[in-house]
Structure 1
Protein backbone atom coordinates (compact mmCIF):
# COMPACT_ATOMS: atom_id res chain seq x y z
CA UNK A 1 0.00 0.00 0.00
CA UNK A 2 2.76 2.45 0.89
CA UNK A 3 5.53 0.90 -1.25
CA UNK A 4 6.11 4.00 -3.36
CA UNK A 5 6.54 6.26 -0.34
CA UNK A 6 10.00 4.97 0.67
CA UNK A 7 10.85 5.78 4.27
CA UNK A 8 7.29 6.96 4.97
CA UNK A 9 6.11 3.42 4.31
CA UNK A 10 8.76 2.10 6.71
CA UNK A 11 7.63 4.62 9.32
CA UNK A 12 4.01 3.55 8.93
CA UNK A 13 5.05 -0.07 9.39
CA UNK A 14 7.06 0.80 12.49
CA UNK A 15 4.13 2.77 13.92
CA UNK A 16 1.83 -0.19 13.31
CA UNK A 17 4.26 -2.55 15.07
CA UNK A 18 4.62 -0.12 17.97
CA UNK A 19 0.84 0.02 18.35
CA UNK A 20 0.63 -3.79 18.26
CA UNK A 21 3.35 -3.99 20.88
CA UNK A 22 1.54 -1.49 23.11
CA UNK A 23 -1.71 -3.45 22.82
CA UNK A 24 0.06 -6.73 23.65
CA UNK A 25 1.84 -5.15 26.61
CA UNK A 26 -1.46 -3.79 27.95
CA UNK A 27 -3.05 -7.22 27.60
CA UNK A 28 -0.06 -8.87 29.27
CA UNK A 29 -0.32 -6.48 32.24
CA UNK A 30 -3.98 -7.45 32.65
CA UNK A 31 -3.15 -11.15 32.32
CA UNK A 32 -0.37 -10.93 34.94
CA UNK A 33 -2.95 -9.77 37.47
CA UNK A 34 -4.89 -13.00 36.93
CA UNK A 35 -1.99 -15.49 36.88
CA UNK A 36 -1.15 -16.87 40.32
CA UNK A 37 2.07 -18.46 41.55
CA UNK A 38 2.77 -20.16 44.86
CA UNK A 39 5.92 -19.90 46.95
CA UNK A 40 6.66 -22.08 49.92
CA UNK A 41 9.08 -22.63 52.76
CA UNK A 42 9.64 -25.15 55.51
CA UNK A 43 9.01 -28.07 53.14
CA UNK A 44 5.54 -26.73 52.39
CA UNK A 45 4.54 -25.81 55.94
CA UNK A 46 4.10 -22.19 54.85
CA UNK A 47 2.71 -21.33 51.41
CA UNK A 48 2.25 -17.86 49.94
CA UNK A 49 0.17 -17.18 46.84
CA UNK A 50 0.76 -14.10 44.71
CA UNK A 51 -0.24 -12.75 41.32
CA UNK A 52 2.42 -12.69 38.62
CA UNK A 53 2.57 -8.96 39.34
CA UNK A 54 3.89 -9.83 42.81
CA UNK A 55 0.78 -8.94 44.82
CA UNK A 56 0.30 -11.30 47.77
CA UNK A 57 -3.18 -12.84 47.64
CA UNK A 58 -3.02 -15.69 50.11
CA UNK A 59 -1.09 -17.29 52.92
CA UNK A 60 -1.50 -20.88 54.16
CA UNK A 61 0.24 -21.92 57.38
CA UNK A 62 0.24 -25.47 58.67
CA UNK A 63 -0.97 -25.29 62.29
CA UNK A 64 1.76 -27.70 63.44
CA UNK A 65 4.32 -24.89 63.38
CA UNK A 66 2.58 -22.77 66.00
CA UNK A 67 4.65 -23.13 69.16
CA UNK A 68 5.01 -20.04 71.35
CA UNK A 69 8.75 -20.59 71.79
CA UNK A 70 9.30 -20.74 67.99
CA UNK A 71 7.74 -17.42 67.04
CA UNK A 72 10.87 -16.22 65.20
CA UNK A 73 11.07 -19.45 63.19
CA UNK A 74 7.45 -19.04 62.07
CA UNK A 75 8.07 -15.41 61.09
CA UNK A 76 11.15 -16.44 59.08
CA UNK A 77 9.19 -19.19 57.31
CA UNK A 78 6.43 -16.73 56.42
CA UNK A 79 8.91 -14.22 55.00
CA UNK A 80 10.70 -16.95 53.06
CA UNK A 81 7.44 -18.16 51.50
CA UNK A 82 6.46 -14.61 50.52
CA UNK A 83 9.88 -13.97 48.97
CA UNK A 84 9.66 -17.26 47.09
CA UNK A 85 6.23 -16.32 45.71
CA UNK A 86 7.50 -12.87 44.69
CA UNK A 87 10.53 -14.39 42.93
CA UNK A 88 8.29 -16.83 41.07
CA UNK A 89 5.98 -13.93 40.15
CA UNK A 90 8.90 -12.01 38.67
CA UNK A 91 10.05 -15.07 36.72
CA UNK A 92 6.53 -15.63 35.37
CA UNK A 93 6.19 -11.98 34.35
CA UNK A 94 9.54 -12.12 32.55
CA UNK A 95 8.55 -15.34 30.76
CA UNK A 96 5.26 -13.79 29.62
CA UNK A 97 7.10 -10.70 28.37
CA UNK A 98 9.59 -12.94 26.56
CA UNK A 99 6.74 -14.56 24.63
CA UNK A 100 5.53 -11.17 23.42
CA UNK A 101 8.96 -9.84 22.49
CA UNK A 102 9.74 -13.06 20.62
CA UNK A 103 6.50 -12.72 18.62
CA UNK A 104 7.42 -9.13 17.78
CA UNK A 105 10.95 -10.08 16.67
CA UNK A 106 12.64 -8.21 19.52
CA UNK A 107 15.92 -9.78 20.66
CA UNK A 108 15.82 -11.83 23.86
CA UNK A 109 16.94 -9.96 26.96
CA UNK A 110 15.80 -6.55 25.73
CA UNK A 111 14.60 -4.62 28.78
CA UNK A 112 11.09 -3.25 28.38
CA UNK A 113 9.69 -0.42 30.50
CA UNK A 114 7.16 -1.43 33.20
Structure 2
Protein backbone atom coordinates (compact mmCIF):
# COMPACT_ATOMS: atom_id res chain seq x y z
CA UNK A 1 0.00 0.00 0.00
CA UNK A 2 1.45 3.35 -1.00
CA UNK A 3 1.51 6.15 1.49
CA UNK A 4 -1.42 8.60 1.63
CA UNK A 5 -3.79 6.31 -0.22
CA UNK A 6 -5.57 4.70 2.73
CA UNK A 7 -7.55 1.68 1.65
CA UNK A 8 -7.29 2.43 -2.03
CA UNK A 9 -9.69 5.39 -1.85
CA UNK A 10 -8.46 8.77 -2.94
CA UNK A 11 -10.18 11.98 -1.83
CA UNK A 12 -12.36 11.90 -4.94
CA UNK A 13 -13.62 8.46 -4.05
CA UNK A 14 -14.34 9.56 -0.48
CA UNK A 15 -16.46 12.44 -1.82
CA UNK A 16 -18.38 10.00 -4.02
CA UNK A 17 -18.89 7.69 -1.06
CA UNK A 18 -20.09 10.57 1.13
CA UNK A 19 -22.55 11.65 -1.57
CA UNK A 20 -23.79 8.06 -1.92
CA UNK A 21 -24.44 7.90 1.84
CA UNK A 22 -26.32 11.22 1.71
CA UNK A 23 -28.48 9.95 -1.14
CA UNK A 24 -29.12 6.70 0.71
CA UNK A 25 -30.27 8.66 3.77
CA UNK A 26 -32.58 10.76 1.58
CA UNK A 27 -34.06 7.62 0.04
CA UNK A 28 -34.53 6.05 3.47
CA UNK A 29 -36.37 9.14 4.75
CA UNK A 30 -38.45 9.26 1.57
CA UNK A 31 -39.30 5.56 1.93
CA UNK A 32 -40.49 6.17 5.50
CA UNK A 33 -42.74 9.01 4.35
CA UNK A 34 -43.98 6.94 1.43
CA UNK A 35 -44.91 4.07 3.76
CA UNK A 36 -46.94 6.48 5.89
CA UNK A 37 -48.68 7.82 2.78
CA UNK A 38 -49.45 4.32 1.51
CA UNK A 39 -51.06 3.41 4.82
CA UNK A 40 -53.46 6.35 4.40
CA UNK A 41 -54.26 5.76 0.71
CA UNK A 42 -57.44 4.08 -0.45
CA UNK A 43 -57.25 2.36 -3.84
CA UNK A 44 -60.46 1.10 -5.39
CA UNK A 45 -60.82 -1.80 -7.77
CA UNK A 46 -64.08 -2.75 -9.42
CA UNK A 47 -65.70 -5.29 -11.68
CA UNK A 48 -69.00 -5.81 -13.44
CA UNK A 49 -69.18 -2.15 -14.37
CA UNK A 50 -69.07 -1.13 -10.72
CA UNK A 51 -71.35 -3.86 -9.36
CA UNK A 52 -68.53 -5.00 -7.06
CA UNK A 53 -65.97 -2.65 -5.55
CA UNK A 54 -62.96 -3.51 -3.39
CA UNK A 55 -60.91 -0.94 -1.51
CA UNK A 56 -57.32 -1.62 -0.43
CA UNK A 57 -54.90 0.62 1.40
CA UNK A 58 -51.84 1.72 -0.55
CA UNK A 59 -49.90 -1.11 1.08
CA UNK A 60 -52.56 -3.62 -0.01
CA UNK A 61 -54.42 -4.08 3.25
CA UNK A 62 -58.09 -4.93 2.47
CA UNK A 63 -60.36 -2.14 3.72
CA UNK A 64 -63.81 -2.85 2.29
CA UNK A 65 -65.92 -4.72 -0.24
CA UNK A 66 -69.14 -3.26 -1.66
CA UNK A 67 -71.57 -5.48 -3.56
CA UNK A 68 -74.52 -4.01 -5.44
CA UNK A 69 -77.87 -5.63 -4.65
CA UNK A 70 -78.35 -5.91 -8.44
CA UNK A 71 -75.78 -8.73 -8.60
CA UNK A 72 -77.04 -10.80 -5.67
CA UNK A 73 -79.49 -12.76 -7.83
CA UNK A 74 -76.74 -13.89 -10.21
CA UNK A 75 -75.58 -16.77 -8.01
CA UNK A 76 -72.57 -17.53 -5.89
CA UNK A 77 -70.21 -18.40 -8.78
CA UNK A 78 -70.81 -15.13 -10.64
CA UNK A 79 -70.52 -13.14 -7.42
CA UNK A 80 -67.29 -14.93 -6.52
CA UNK A 81 -65.84 -14.18 -9.97
CA UNK A 82 -66.81 -10.50 -9.67
CA UNK A 83 -65.25 -10.18 -6.20
CA UNK A 84 -62.06 -11.88 -7.42
CA UNK A 85 -61.88 -9.60 -10.48
CA UNK A 86 -62.40 -6.48 -8.32
CA UNK A 87 -59.67 -7.62 -5.93
CA UNK A 88 -57.27 -8.18 -8.83
CA UNK A 89 -58.11 -4.73 -10.19
CA UNK A 90 -57.42 -3.09 -6.83
CA UNK A 91 -54.21 -5.11 -6.38
CA UNK A 92 -52.92 -4.14 -9.84
CA UNK A 93 -53.68 -0.47 -9.19
CA UNK A 94 -51.94 -0.60 -5.81
CA UNK A 95 -48.79 -2.27 -7.18
CA UNK A 96 -48.66 0.25 -10.02
CA UNK A 97 -49.03 3.10 -7.51
CA UNK A 98 -46.26 1.69 -5.30
CA UNK A 99 -43.93 1.18 -8.27
CA UNK A 100 -44.52 4.70 -9.57
CA UNK A 101 -43.97 6.26 -6.14
CA UNK A 102 -40.74 4.27 -5.61
CA UNK A 103 -39.49 5.35 -9.04
CA UNK A 104 -40.18 8.97 -8.08
CA UNK A 105 -38.32 8.44 -4.82
CA UNK A 106 -35.26 6.77 -6.33
CA UNK A 107 -35.27 8.54 -9.71
CA UNK A 108 -31.83 9.44 -10.94
CA UNK A 109 -29.97 7.61 -8.19
CA UNK A 110 -28.90 4.63 -10.35
CA UNK A 111 -29.52 2.18 -7.54
CA UNK A 112 -28.78 -1.46 -8.38
CA UNK A 113 -31.88 -3.61 -8.66
CA UNK A 114 -34.27 -0.67 -9.07
TM bin, normalised by shorter chain, reads 0.7 to 0.9
In 2, Cα distance between the equivalents of 1:106 and 1:9? 16
The size of the alignment, in residue pairs, is: 105
Matching of residue 100 in structure 1 with residue 70 in structure 2: no
Structure 2 unmatched ranges of 5 or more: 1-9
Shift of 1:82: 0.9
The equivalences for 1:10-49 within 5 A come to 10-49=16-55
Structure 1 unmatched ranges of 5 or more: none
Pick one of 73, 76, 92 that aligns with 2:78.
73
Q: Which runs of 4+ in 1 moved over 6 A?
A: none
In 1, Cα distance between the equivalents of 2:75 and 2:113? 43
Alpha-carbon contact 2:23-2:109 (below 8 Å) kept: no
Alpha-carbon contact 1:47-1:59 (below 8 Å) kept: yes
Q: Highest Rg: 1 or 2? A: 2
Compute the RMSD of aligned alpha carbons: 2.1
SS at match of 2:49: coil
TM-score by length of 1: 0.81
Out of 26-35 and 79-88, give the one that drifted further.
Answer: 26-35
